[in-house]
Amino acid sequence: MTRAQRRVRTQVAVVGAGPAGLVLANVLLRAGVGVAVVERRSRAEVERRARAGLVEHRIVEYLRAHGLADRLLAEGTRHGWCDFLCSGRLLRFDYGAQSGGVRHWVYPQQLLVRDLIADLHEAGHTPEFSLPATRVHVDGAGPARVECAGLDIDCDYVVGCDGPHGVTPQALPPEAAPHDGLPGTGPAPPGGLDERYPYDWLTLLAEVDRGVPGVVYAVHEDGFAGVMPRTSRIARLYLEIPAGDATARWTAPRVHERLRTRLVGAGAAVPRLGRILETGVLRMRSSVRRRFQHGRLFLAGDAAHVLTPSGAKGMNLAVADAADLADALIRRYRYGDEAHLDGYTSRRLPEVLRTRDLAAGFLDLLHPQGRHPADRRAELALRLERMRELAEPGAAGAAFAHWYVGAGPELPVPHTSAPREPTP
C-alpha cells in the first residue's frame, strides 16, 4: 500500500453511481447499514448523462415510501397513454385506463440521479466520483475488498452497479457470463440468454417547439421511429437504422427527412422538431447473465442484464434489483437472515427474463422485417390489427397495459427504514 493509499471499512461497498447503486445506498443508509459508493465518472458527467425518462408506477411508489421522490413528484409529469402510428393511421392506447388508473411518471434519469446524489450528500455520504474501481476481491478469508487508485474499501459485501463492462462483472466465474454468440464465447444455451437484433436505433435529443404530449411509436415501410417526452423544449427520438450502421452517415438533413417520412399522419401528436443536440447509436441487443451473484458479490442493473429500450424497462429493472437487494441486506444485518441474500438471483432472474421476452415481442410489433415491399405491406397490415387490439378495451390491452406501466407486485419496503413525507 502506497503512502497515499487510504483504507476504509464499511458494511456494503457499491461500485457505480447510477440509479441502482444510488437507490440502494440511500435505502441502506436510512436503515442504518454502512455504505460507501465509488464511481469512475465525474459528478458533473453522471448528473448530465441523458438516458431513460419513463419511471414506472411501482418504482415511484417505492421511492416515495423512502422519501426519495420529493422532486420527482413536484417536477415530473404523469402520462397514461401513448400513440401507435402505423401506415399513416394514428391509434391512441390509453394504458392508464386499461390498467385501472395507473400511469407513468416522465422524469429524466439524469434528474433522478441528481436528486439521489443530493440525498446522499445531505446524509454525509457523497459518492467518491472520478474514482474507478480497478479490482474486487470477494473470495477467500477475510473481508471483501474494492481496490481503487488511492483507496481500498474493506467490506462485508460488494454490489456491482458499474455496467456490463465494469470491473465487478469480471469477478464472476465464466459460467455465470452471458453468451454473445460471438467467436470464442461458446454456443448459446437453448432459448439463449442473449440476442442481437437485425437493426439498431439511432438515438437523438432534439429541440422542439413545445413539449411532446405523449409517446409515439411509428411503424412505416421505411422503418420504425419513436418520439418520447423529456422536457418542455427537448424530446428523445429513435430511428431504426441497419445493424452496424455508423452515426456519421446520419447527417441532420437525412435524419429530418427520415423522420418526416416515418411520422406522416402523426399530426399534433408530434411537435415541430428543431436543432439536433445529441446523436448516438444503440446497438440493439439483450444480454442477461445466468447468475447475479457470486459469494459476497451481487450485481444489479446493467451489470446483470442489458435490455433494449423497448418498453422503457432498463432503469426500472435496475431500481427493482436495488429494492430486492436492499431488503435482503437489511434482513441480513437486522435479523441475521442470509437465506434471503442467497436467493437473490432466483428471485430476480425470472422477472428479468420475462421482461426481456415481453420487450422482444414489443420490438417485433414495431419492426416489420419483410424483405420485399409486398411482404412488408402485409406485415404492416398485421401489426395495425395488433395495435387496434391493444388500443381497444379488452384482455389483450389490459395485460399489455399492466406490464408497460409497471403495475405489477409492489417492491419490498423494509420495515427498518424511516420514510419521510414528500415535500408539498
CATH of the domain at 179: 3.50.50.60
Which residues lie below 8 Å from residue 387, measured CB to CB, with a gap of 6+?
84, 86, 91, 93, 365
CATH label of the domain that carries residue 221: 3.30.9.10
pLDDT tens, residue by residue, 374-416: 788 899 999 999 999 999 999 999 999 999 999 877 888 865 4
In this prediction, residue 422 carries a pLDDT of: 34
Query: Which residues, 6+ apart, have CB-to-CB distance to 348 below 8 Å?
Result: 292, 304, 320, 321, 324
Tell which phi-psi region holds residue 124, choosing left (phi > 0), alpha (psi between -120 and 50) or beta.
left
pLDDT for position 407: 82
Residue 354 in domain? yes
Q: What is the pLDDT of residue 232?
A: 86
Q: How many beta carbons lie within 10 A of that of residue 229, not counting itself? A: 24
3-class secondary structure, 126: coil
Confidence of residue 13 (pLDDT cuts 50, 70, 90): very high
Q: Are 19 and 120 in contact (CB under 8 A)?
A: no
The whole-number average pLDDT for the span 133-139 is 94
Cβ-proximal residues to 178 (8 Å cutoff; 6+ apart), any chain: 193, 194, 287, 288, 289, 290
> Are residues 62 and 170 located together in one domain of the fold?
yes
Contact residues for 232 (Cβ-Cβ < 8 A; gap 6+)? 210, 211
Q: Is residue 107 part of a domain?
A: yes
Shared domain for 246 and 127, answered yes or no, is no
pLDDT at 188 over 50: no
- Map 331-371 to HEC letters: HHHHHCCCHHHHCHHHHHHHHHHHHHHHHHHHHHHHCCCCC
Q: Where are the alpha helices (DSSP H) in 182-285?
A: 252-262
64 and 125 within one domain: yes
Among 8-17, 98-107, 179-188, the least confident range = 179-188
Assess whether 332 and 258 both reside in one domain.
no
- pLDDT at position 412 is 85
pLDDT band at residue 337 using 50, 70 and 90 as cut-offs: very high
Together in a domain, 264 and 298? no
Both 252 and 242 in one domain: the answer is yes
- Residue 269 above 70 pLDDT? yes
Whether residue 181 sits in one domain with residue 301: yes
Percent of residues, the chain, with pLDDT higher than 90: 75
- Please report, for residues 63, 128, 323, 418, the alpha-carbon distance to residue 301 in angstroms, rounded to integers and kept in the order given: 16, 20, 11, 25
Q: Is residue 414 part of a domain?
A: no
**What is the pTM assigned to this prediction?**
0.89
Q: Is the pLDDT of residue 190 over 50?
A: no
**Residue 357 grid cell:** 421476452
Residue 94: inside a domain: no
Phi, psi for residue 126 in degrees, rounded to 5: -60, 135
Average pLDDT of the chain? Answer: 89
Contacts of 3 (CB under 8 A, 6+ apart): none
**Contact indicator for 36, 13 with CB cutoff of 8 Å:** yes
Segment 78-103 shows an average pLDDT of: 94
Over range 277-286, report the average pLDDT. 92
**Residue 56 pLDDT class (50, 70, 90 cuts):** very high
pLDDT of residue 371: 67
Q: Which residues sit opposite 206 in a β-bridge?
A: 235, 276
Give the domain range for residue 279.
198-284+370-402
Cα(261)–Cα(259) distance, rounded to whole angstroms?
5
Residue 91 lies in a domain: no
pLDDT tens column, 28-51:
999 999 999 999 999 999 998 877
Which of 145-149, 206-210, 329-333, 407-411 has the least mean pLDDT? 407-411
When pLDDT is cut at 50, 70 and 90, the band that residue 326 belongs to is very high
Question: pLDDT-derived band of residue 195, with 50, 70 and 90 as boundaries?
Answer: confident
The reply to whether 353 and 249 lie within a common domain is: no
Q: Tell whether 97 is covered by a domain.
A: no
The pLDDT confidence band at residue 229, using thresholds 50, 70 and 90, is: confident
Is the distance from CB of 176 to CB of 29 less than 8 angstroms?
no
- 3-state DSSP of 160-212: ECCCCCCCCHHHCCHHHCCCCCCCCCCCCCCCCCEEECCEEEEEEEEEECCCC
As for how many domains the chain has, the answer is: 2
Residue 160: closest CA among 355, 294, 309: 294
Residue 397 lies in a domain: yes
If asked whether residues 306 and 346 sit together in one domain, one would say: yes
Domain end (from 337, 363, 389): 363
Q: Which residues share a beta bridge with 204?
A: 237, 279
Domain shared by 190 and 339, yes or no: yes
The answer to whether residue 122 is domain-embedded is: yes
pLDDT for 349 beyond 80: yes
**Segment 164-186, tens digit of pLDDT:** 999 999 998 876 666 443 333 33
Q: In what order do the strands lie in the sheet containing 133-137? A: 6-9, 151-155, 144-148, 133-137
Domain identity same for 250 and 392: yes
Strand positions, DSSP E, 211-341: 215-220, 223-229, 234-242, 273-282, 285-288, 293-294, 297-299, 305-306
Residues 300, 356: one domain? yes
